[in-house]
């Protein structure tokens, strides 16, 4: 679902907007770029979408080969 | 929505409502928006009046919030049971006002009570100096009684039943 459509759904709702936001799945990348004016219904909707569409930061794990201990046996 | 982190020492509270006969109540998200939403009812100035709002001449603001609701679970053999908070209904506001048959707000509330299906946005405004903290909610009027005993001034009593989940805090 597009973020703008999700915001519109929340803003026009007369129900529990936490519950509404919980059921809306939006693109994480689009959500990260979305902005809204403060003290507007859109800002409230955006905050709720971000609350329930948590995106985990990408963590790159580099595989490092263990150092081999020098062979001291003769 | 989060309650504004502002303490108003010595504040006074007042009740406001949308003035139209068949109003369009604010949506849930807009109940938390001060500019252009809640201000249309309570105005932008403390104790002012919005273009689409009217003050309700109440004696006092009753307690508001939510009722208590819980489910009781018990485990065989356990000495105590467990109380789990469950879906709690919003608290109804039973309000007393001096009955004035010429007051537009009270006449509108009486009309709403006769109908029973008019959703209207109400705002409880707490004001201290120029600071206003507003609690806005949508509700219906479910009772309206006029008490015209000869020994005291005429009073009217009505109950506002808030709609579930439809509330919001805002401030200026």
Cβ proximity of B169 and B1 under 8 Å: yes
What token pair was written down for B33? 């928006």
Q: Tell me the Ramachandran region of residue B170: left when phi exceeds 0, alpha when psi lies from -120 to 50, beta otherwise.
A: beta
Residue-wise pLDDT tens digits, B7-35: 666 788 999 999 999 999 999 999 999 99
Residue to mutate among A44, A46, A51, with most B CBs inside 10 A, is A44
pLDDT score of B97 = 94
Scanning B27-103, the segments in alpha helix (DSSP H) are 39-42
CB pairs under 8 A between A and B: 40
- So where are chain A's domains? 1-74
- In angstroms, what separates the C-alpha of B29 from chain A's closest C-alpha? 5
Average pLDDT of the residues in A29-53: 92
Name the average pLDDT for chain A: 87
Question: What φ, ψ does residue A33 adopt, rounded to 5°?
Answer: -90, -15
Among A45, A1, A40, A41, CA closest to A21: A45
How does residue A49 score in pLDDT terms, banded at 50, 70 and 90?
very high
Rounded (5°) CA angle B49-B29-A47: 130
Residue-wise pLDDT tens digits, B67-104: 999 999 998 999 999 999 999 999 999 999 999 999 99
pLDDT score of B2 = 56
How does residue A55 score in pLDDT terms, banded at 50, 70 and 90?
low
Among A4-8, A46-50, B42-46, B96-100, which is the least confidently predicted range?
B42-46
- In angstroms, what separates the C-alpha of A41 from chain B's closest C-alpha? 5
- For residues B109 and B100, give the distance between their C-alpha atoms in angstroms, rounded to a whole number: 12
Q: Global pTM?
A: 0.85
């Amino acid at each position: 679902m597009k973020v703008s459509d999700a915001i519109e759904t929340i803003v026009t709702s007369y129900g529990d907007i936490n519950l509404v936001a919980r059921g809306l799945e939006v693109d994480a990348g689009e959500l990260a770029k979305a902005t809204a004016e403060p003290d507007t219904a859109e800002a409230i909707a955006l905050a709720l979408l971000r609350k329930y569409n948590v995106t985990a930061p990408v963590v790159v794990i580099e595989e490092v080969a263990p150092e081999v201990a020098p062979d001291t046996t003769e | 929505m989060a309650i504004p982190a502002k303490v108003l020492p010595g504040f006074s509270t007042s009740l406001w409502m949308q003035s139209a006969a068949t109003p369009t109540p604010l949506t849930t998200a807009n109940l938390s928006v001060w500019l252009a939403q809640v201000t249309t009812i309570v105005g932008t100035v403390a104790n002012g009046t919005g273009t689409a709002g009217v003050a309700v001449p109440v004696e006092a603001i009753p307690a508001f919030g939510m009722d208590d609701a819980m489910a009781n679970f018990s485990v065989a053999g356990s000495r105590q049971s467990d109380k789990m908070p469950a879906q709690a209904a919003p608290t109804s506001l039973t309000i007393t006002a001096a009955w004035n048959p010429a007051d537009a707000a009270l006449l509108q509330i009486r009309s709403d009570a006769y109908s029973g299906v008019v959703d209207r946005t109400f705002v409880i405004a707490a004001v201290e100096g120029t600071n206003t903290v507003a609690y806005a909610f949508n509700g219906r009027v479910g009772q309206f009684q006029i008490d015209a005993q000869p020994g005291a001034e005429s009073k009217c009593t009505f109950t506002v039943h808030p709609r579930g989940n439809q509330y919001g805090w805002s401030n200026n």
